[in-house]
Amino acid sequence: MILLSLFSLIFIPLLTPTFTPAPILSPINPTHELTLPSTLPSTLTETRYQGASMARQEEYQVSFILLDDESDEALFGATVYIEELENGTTTDENGLARFENLPPAAYTFIFRHVGYEPITRTIEIPLTSTGTSGTTQDSGTTQDSSTTQDSRTEPPLEIRMEHEHGHLEEITVSTTRTTRTIQDTPTRIIAITAEEIGEKGNMRPGDIRMLLAESTGIQVQQTSAVTGSSNFRIQGLDGRYTQLLKDGFPLYSGFSGGLSIMQIPPLDLQQVEVVKGANSTLYGGGAIAGLVNLITKRPQKKHELSIFTNLSSSNGADLSVFSSGLMREPSGNRGGQLGYTMFTAYNQSEAYDPSDQGFSAVPEVERLTWNPKVFWTPGADTEIMAGGQLSVERR
């Protein structure tokens, strides 16, 4: 009994659990701020903001309305191009163009339409209501710095386009016996420039039949089935009522009905002037229907040498050579300038019967043309020209 009591006294205290009283929390002061740990809530906040930003980017849009600057008419079919995104659209019948789902950034919009000057504008997305700023010129396009407004509430941005102003080449005519520009000439004159003459000359280097046949109001008619000669009509009148001139002088005189446009190679021509209507006062009774004046090239400061050759499948060949330049330039009291032009052409074709019927579609022709000229300018208002033309032809 004594031993059991001692055992209980020794071990029972050891097995008894120890309880520590909990600290007493003081009440929260309402004036104190509750500070939370920064790591986890900060990450959640950033993620929430990023998600909201991504969702907001898809809502940005911008629209434009393109108008004519003079008539306020909506422009249909104009193109609007975003340079950074390499993407664009066209305007509808109301002149409206719209872009959607644009991320926030500064974009360069390029507006183009046929017949109008292109416009380039830099627009900040998202748009605010601060308006537009000044414009500057850059390589022929109108450059606006930045344009901003609220794209979700405000009407489309108005873009006014100006008409494109082209500079036309000034054409001087000499058919009226006085040198003047074509816009100051009271007579109706059609001027065929050197560019078109060169184009038609490459396709038909032996004569100017194609050049005149494609002009309005002129019909080219073949006058002989044997020799292949052709003549031209103006406004339906017969060829004998039309006048053919070269540098203002009658060409072939009364023989122009048989010796006409088939004997004139186009390499030395600078311009062709066609006058429709009666001009008997200046050029006599042969110009009742109208006239065609062939203006040849003149010598320039830079020497020119042109050589043209052509071979056809119908056993034809053409060789034309043109040379011009100044032999003396004006200098002080030594007199005026002295220049020259020299044109030589050889044209040959054999009789060609493509269908083997015994009748040739192309007659046999061999022609040599030589046309030298000398120009002397003793003063600013005086020019003396001497020249001649030799044409030898066998048909």
pLDDT above 90 covers a percentage of the chain that reads: 21
Residue 380, CB-side half-sphere exposure with 13 Å CA sphere? 1
- Structural domains in the chain plus CATH codes: 61-161 (2.60.40.1120), 168-296 (2.170.130.10), 298-395 (no CATH)
Q: How confident is the model at residue 82 (pLDDT cuts 50, 70, 90)?
A: very high
Mean pLDDT of 55-65: 72
Q: How confident is the model at residue 102 (pLDDT cuts 50, 70, 90)?
A: confident
Q: How confident is the model at residue 92 (pLDDT cuts 50, 70, 90)?
A: very high
Low-confidence winner among 15-19, 86-90, 166-170, 241-245 (lowest mean pLDDT): 15-19
Residue 62, CB-side half-sphere exposure with 13 Å CA sphere? 28
Task: Please report the pLDDT score of residue 120 as a whole number.
Answer: 94
318 neighbors 309 (Cβ within 8 angstroms): yes
354 neighbors 322 (Cβ within 8 angstroms): no
The 10 Å CB-count burial string (b at 16+, else e) for 282-318 is ebeebbbbbbbbbbbbebeeeeeeeebebeeeeebeb
Which is more confidently placed, 202 or 306?
306
Kindly report the three-state secondary structure assignment for every residue of the chain: CHHHHHHHHHHHHHHCCCCCCCCCCCCCCCCCCCCCCCHHHHHHHHHHHHHHHHHHHCCCEEEEEEEECCCCCECCCCEEEECCCCEEEECCCCCEEEEECCCCEEEEEEEECCCECCEEEEEEECCCCCEECCEEEECCEEEEEEEECCCCCCCCEEEEECECCCCCCCCEECCCCCCEEHHHCCCCEEEECHHHHHHHHHHCCCCCHHHHHCCCCEEEEECCCCCCCEEEEECCCCHHHEEEEECCEECCHHHCCCCCHHHCCCCCEEEEEEEECCCHHHHCHHHCCEEEEEEECCCCCCCEEEEEEEEECCCEEEEEEEEEEEEECCCCCCCCEEEEEEEEEEEEECCECCCCCCCCCECCEEEEEEEEEEEEEEECCEEEEEECCEEEEEC
Mean pLDDT of 292-299: 89
Kindly report the three-state secondary structure assignment for every residue of 158-195: EEEECECCCCCCCCEECCCCCCEEHHHCCCCEEEECHH
Structure tokens at 394: 């066998």
Task: Please report the pLDDT score of residue 174 as a whole number.
Answer: 58
205 neighbors 318 (Cβ within 8 angstroms): yes
- 86-93: Cβ within 8 A, 24+ apart: 91/64, 91/65, 91/66
Compute CA 79 distance to the chain's CA centroid, rounded to the nearest angstrom.
Answer: 17
Mean pLDDT of the chain: 74
- pLDDT tens digit sequence for 126-149: 776 544 433 333 444 444 444 444
Phi/psi region, residue 252 (left: phi>0; alpha: psi -120 to 50; beta: rest), is left
Task: Please report the pLDDT score of residue 7 as a whole number.
Answer: 40
Per-residue pLDDT for 63 more than 70? yes
Handedness of CA 261, 262, 268, 271 (dihedral sign): positive
Task: Please report the pLDDT score of residue 212 as a whole number.
Answer: 82
Q: How confident is the model at residue 374 (pLDDT cuts 50, 70, 90)?
A: very high
Per-residue pLDDT for 159 more than 90? yes
In whole angstroms, give the CA distance from residue 380 to residue 259: 37
Say whether the peptide bond before residue 23 is cis (omega within 30 degrees of 0). no
- pLDDT tens digit sequence for 234-281: 888 877 788 888 888 887 765 555 556 667 888 889 988 888 877 766
pTM of the entire predicted model: 0.52
Query: CA angle at residue 110 from 106 to 112, to 5 degrees?
Result: 165
Structure tokens at 137: 């010129």
Low-confidence winner among 76-90, 112-126, 155-169 (lowest mean pLDDT): 155-169
Q: How confident is the model at residue 31 (pLDDT cuts 50, 70, 90)?
A: very low
Task: Please report the pLDDT score of residue 202 as a whole number.
Answer: 82
Q: Is 179 exposed, middle or buried (0-12, 13-18, 19+ CB in 10 A)?
A: exposed
Low-confidence winner among 55-59, 189-193, 235-239 (lowest mean pLDDT): 55-59
Neighbours of 246 (CB within 10 A): 17
